[in-house]
Chain A
């Protein structure tokens, strides 16, 4: 079946902000979808609220709406654009849910819009718990004993019937939000109630717990003719019980005989056929490790995180092919992008092993529960490709950038044997290191398997690594042993450490014995056919396949690794744009990255893709093979910046700002000198290494002070300290993480924060715009509501900002981009921070100013001058549109994470509100972030003493609007004294009129809670904030955010009235 010619204009729905469970993989999928549709001559209308994405770039679609992903807004866009079709299965669960709502209400039919790909009935059969179960029963595929309930009581009754433990799975939620395993009736009661609240359709599934079974996934594709293929199967090292997004996953499956492999493959194909899916689908199975018994856990009738992983693991472009199927093509009509000779209708076979390890945000949330379960907690993931499982594990571990390079986690060395065994029983993000330590202590594979239920095969692989450590430490290093260690994935650095030699000595021994990394191609077919995919991984087997040469000058772009809080999809945006600009300028491009979810690791972005860890040695291997003319590090976040020194030592030219000048921005003393040279003031502060030094400096500066490690991103470990005790706590926390760099102690200044991204060519600068933060200094810029253009900044201050930007950019010899954080305090402009690299606001500012920032910067890096380009110098023209960036958090996913905002970044994603009118833009940003704007109702206020004066006008406004104000005793007293009518609630945790009762009553619209100092979780504030998350009550911890919300409430906008803005017209 060729393309359906009736399809002329398609609406693509994106997945919205990055949250846990829905990350960059949907930008990758959406970007592939849009470019395929465009290639087919179809007009593409795109809606996505996330400005940090590549898919929302001007050339990706014909019309782009960075608008809230709500039914009303999408309806408005459909009415305006009149697409004939809608592509729902590439925008994650968000896109699919939205499309389903539009279909179910009859809106699509009324407006003659067809749903491409799978039919609504098919989607419903996969998504709706009962319908899914019925369908599986019809086709004879086993499910786990389960029942859909809508009442807590029914959940309890059913558990009585099938026995505990049971798993609670809410219907229609992302990444299993609100689910969990209940071992007792009390736990079930709580989990079921929470799950019911979170489910869009108020349904949860109660099912028999089969924890310990093997968890296997299949990625399947089907076309309208009924042809089905499986792209990949994957085996979770962590058995059932840990969310697949939080599991270490290998591809292909390792412990399945062909009988099991084919049994599950056949089942997956039967399922996709029964659901009549046209496109991609993911089927998850649980397989009893002691029999052929299996059960279908879940089916995702769409492109998913697993399909992104499968695409990168195999080289098969799932999203691209799914899009082609959706517009009518059959699999045998779609060309295989890898061989260019055969068709997309085949099953990839691998001749390597792929290992995925999730990246968790626990370093950000010290109070969070690290236990893994059915609720996904990871923000991102890394993938590694290697000829052996051991090397795959080792590569993946070092790709995580957790300062761990092997199977050794020092903290477990201190534990006693009994403690290690105890630790083995806890399923946490560090379990593989616990297993390694247990093996080191002599526990048997059998014993560890018995405790963890992890397959003995995987434990035996960890044992091989542990044994190698011992051998290296205890026997003389021969070339044979060295080769074996390299084959197992050990870095020279680790071998050096274990053998007591230097890294250079190891490198020398390797070179002398020709033990060098060679690169192999990912070709989808295990070398059966000739392929030209420029997609490589390293191996210590002989024969190097990465020897294509275009003859052009080569430039290497370092990627940004896994998605984490503070370093998200924005940096992938920058890396990809840099590659595109370099290609345009006639260079051969090489990208190095290890994140399977991203656009940058698509093999047709750069001329060559090296899927490798971003460590010195791994990068050096590539440098030795490619001998690039230069490298660009300023777009890959801190991950790439960290490699600058190593690259310089390898003799690689750093294109753009030099290593020395980057250091001048980071090194406290040099930076102070630079600012002094320019006559720019900055908050006073000093560099320290120890607690005593810090306390001395803090007292000299006078409290409060800002304590932070240098060379970090996203404010990790940064905190405001109000007394000596806090300084001590914070410094100790920072020092827990291996820290080579000094700690900075600065005077904390309360004031307006502003941010600038700029491009400098050494002579001129170009500032796309100045952004103003709604929250005052103290809240991390990534967690602040950011407004472009500035609304409340005087002409004079703006001039100063531009002047300072130019001065410091030139002083630091910036070539390329830089990001500066300013503060205006008591009428004076200060620079707080200069980042000699791309920042998280670059995609956003690029889109709203229509200025291709990365493209310009790349050309500047290549030697072009701003004055020779058509964009001008100085500050770029001010847009008539206001664009407001609103942070989005994933607190409900991370149990016990403190939600209060501060200098350490906590948001996982962002949405944009765009309008000519400030308050409309703000309104859009709020609803885009998922906030429901109340016009009446109930608000709880509980703030620390020093915030009380500021909360008074807020309370008054709320009262005037007709809200009932609730407050805890202290706050209530203050408000009452100032003539606000208040309902007092007791700061106790049970009984009548308690805070808990009020929060569970469901009547609170939002809560204002400003955190008291300290980070202790035992405080009432922490409990209030966590309970708010669990009850899904928005809880604001910064007064400025509440003021912004009040503006929106007072304006009383209706979603029906707002105008959807095509960003291309801005």
Chain B
């Protein structure tokens, strides 16, 4: 069955429909991971987006539920070059197509993903619509343009607080769309993690040894409530570790500004330099926004990490505070595990404080 992806700029891609059959409007982004599509597809940070995988063979090892980064798919659509007909891996439970149907997510295969990627790179991230009927392109484009993709954090966060693990270190995790592996990384390090819904405003910081601000989807400036909460947390003197959206929100809470990247950083291969040691780590990234370096108050925070490709801010250390935040994903999944040591640093920070 033929389907189309229509982009905001009028570009049309024809492909073969896979997954659940329905139309979808989404922000179209690309990810360069060659392995790890189940993790990408279940990452809540992609809520509201349609994913173009640049690697052409997707579904090779099927779907492995234990690798999910959340309970389901949050993204609106996927765009791939080729869907593997026979997945093979000892842990495989189902095919990618079955998984898409189960999650009611539509997709297109046999499309020129390289061409799509280049368009996104050259014109910047844009919205698009997956549909079967392109008889009236102008109407579709109008529809796409009118679609507002907002309120994403509220969609992906947990509805009620819950507790994971049984360790001696008590960590409060603000779930803006947290990836499971953040929780796993903490639990592995002897933490009891209390996961709070994103709009929680009244965390009793004294109950916790440290606070974790998770990743999440969308424009950080939309997160007004969260920013207010973080302002309070900033003043609490508790060790705080922020990842991705958590990093951006801490920046916004302390007066910095964020901006949207032309086409984002989404992939497993982004070099990040630790300015203190001079060592470079290959990191997993997934973000469309970033903190503008010149809006950071040098009295409040200093840049600890930068992206080697475009020089953007990748990490901040807050002065006279036990707060560190990173734009990239030390919890990986998918991607390199090289910066997982940051969780150790967080634990160290907590222990020193205790």
Contact = CB atoms under 8 A, between A and B. Distances in A.
A958 B309 CA distance: 69
Contact of A345 (B54, B61, B67, B280): B280
Interface stretch (B27-35, B160-168, B191-199, B316-324): B27-35
A541 B60 CA distance: 21
Given A252-B35, A332-B271, A528 B114 contact: no
A543 interface: yes
B99 to A, nearest CB: 14
Specify which of A262, A266, A348, A542 lies most central, judged by the most chain B CB atoms within 10 Å of its CB: A262
Interface string A516-558: 0000100001111110000000000111000000000000000
B282 interface: yes
Interface in B252-279: 267-271, 273, 277-279
A331 B280 contact: yes
Contacts of A230: 282
Contact of B117 (A265, A289, A332, A527): A527
B335 interface: yes
B329 to A, nearest CB: 12
Interface in A177-230: 225-230
Interface in B315-354: 332-338
Contact of B338 (A269, A342, A387): A269
Contacts of B279: 225-227
A556 to B, nearest CB: 25
A913 to B, nearest CB: 47
Interface in A324-354: 330-332, 342-343, 345-353
B267 A261 contact: no
Given A258-B39, A388-B56, A520 B34 contact: no
A338 to B, nearest CB: 12
Interface centre among B54, B114, B117, B281 (most CB of A within 10 A): B114
B337 A353 contact: no
B71 interface: no
Contacts of A352: 56
Interface stretch (A29-37, A456-464, A649-657, A999-1007): A456-464
A541 B114 contact: yes
Nearest to A265: B336
Nearest to B263: A528
B114 A456 contact: no
Given A457-B88, A528-B267, A542-B115, A258 B335 contact: yes
A87 interface: no
B336 A349 contact: no
Given A262-B336, A348-B269, A343 B113 contact: no
A457 B84 contact: yes
A332 B271 CA distance: 9
B251 to A, nearest CB: 24
A700 interface: no
Nearest to B118: A527
Given A262-B337, A343-B308, A350-B34, A526 B117 contact: yes
Interface SS of chain B: helix, strand, loop or mixed?
loop
A346 B338 CA distance: 13
A259 interface: yes
Interface of chain A, helix or strand or loop or mixed?
A: loop
Contacts of B334: 258, 261-262
A353 B58 CA distance: 12
A492 interface: no
Contacts of B332: 262
Given A387-B81, A445-B86, A346 B117 contact: no
B337 A349 contact: no
Interface in A211-258: 225-230, 252-258
A290 interface: yes
A256 B35 contact: yes
Contact of B308 (A332, A350, A389): A332
B278 A526 contact: no
Contact of A456 (B33, B81, B88, B267): B88
Nearest to B112: A541
Nearest to B338: A269
Nearest to B116: A527
A906 B328 CA distance: 56
A755 interface: no
A529 B309 contact: yes
A455 interface: yes
A709 B144 CA distance: 67
A291 interface: yes
B20 interface: no
Contact of A351 (B54, B90, B271, B336): B54
A269 B340 CA distance: 14
A349 B32 contact: yes
Of B60, B91, B118, B270, which is in contact with the most chain A CB atoms at under 10 Å from its CB?
Answer: B60
Given A226-B279, A527-B121, A256 B61 contact: yes
Contacts of A225: 277-279
A542 B11 CA distance: 14
A387 B90 contact: no
Contacts of B36: 257-258, 261
A912 B183 CA distance: 64
Contacts of B270: 346
Contact of B333 (A227, A258, A387, A525): A258
A543 B282 contact: no
Contacts of B30: 528
Contacts of B56: 351-353, 387-388
B19 interface: no
Contacts of A254: 57, 60
A255 B115 contact: no
A87 to B, nearest CB: 24
Contact of A262 (B60, B91, B335): B335
Contact of B273 (A252, A332, A349, A351): A332
B309 A460 contact: no
B32 A525 contact: yes
Interface string B292-306: 000000000000000
Contacts of A289: 90
Given A257-B35, A526-B114, A388 B57 contact: yes
A346 B35 contact: no
B278 A255 contact: no
Interface in B158-180: none
A345 B308 contact: yes
B55 interface: yes
A900 B126 CA distance: 69
The CB with the most chain A CB atoms within 10 A, among B34, B55, B90, B309, is that of: B34
B89 interface: yes
Contacts of B39: 258
Interface in A956-973: none
B185 interface: no
B87 interface: yes
A253 B88 CA distance: 12
Contacts of A255: 60-61, 88-89
Contacts of B54: 349, 351, 526-528
Interface in A712-768: none
A265 B268 CA distance: 12
Interface in B114-133: 114-115, 117-118, 121
A355 to B, nearest CB: 12
Contact of A227 (B84, B117, B280): B280
B269 A342 contact: no
A817 to B, nearest CB: 41
8 contacts: A257-B64, A257-B67, A349-B34, A350-B55, A351-B55, A457-B84, A541-B114, A541-B115
Given A387-B56, A527-B121, A528-B30, 19 more contacts: A225-B279, A226-B279, A252-B35, A252-B55, A256-B61, A258-B38, A258-B333, A331-B280, A342-B308, A342-B309, A349-B54, A350-B34, A353-B56, A353-B57, A456-B86, A526-B54, A528-B117, A543-B112, A543-B114
Closest 9 CB pairs of A and B: A258-B36, A460-B86, A526-B54, A258-B334, A457-B88, A347-B269, A349-B32, A527-B117, A261-B35
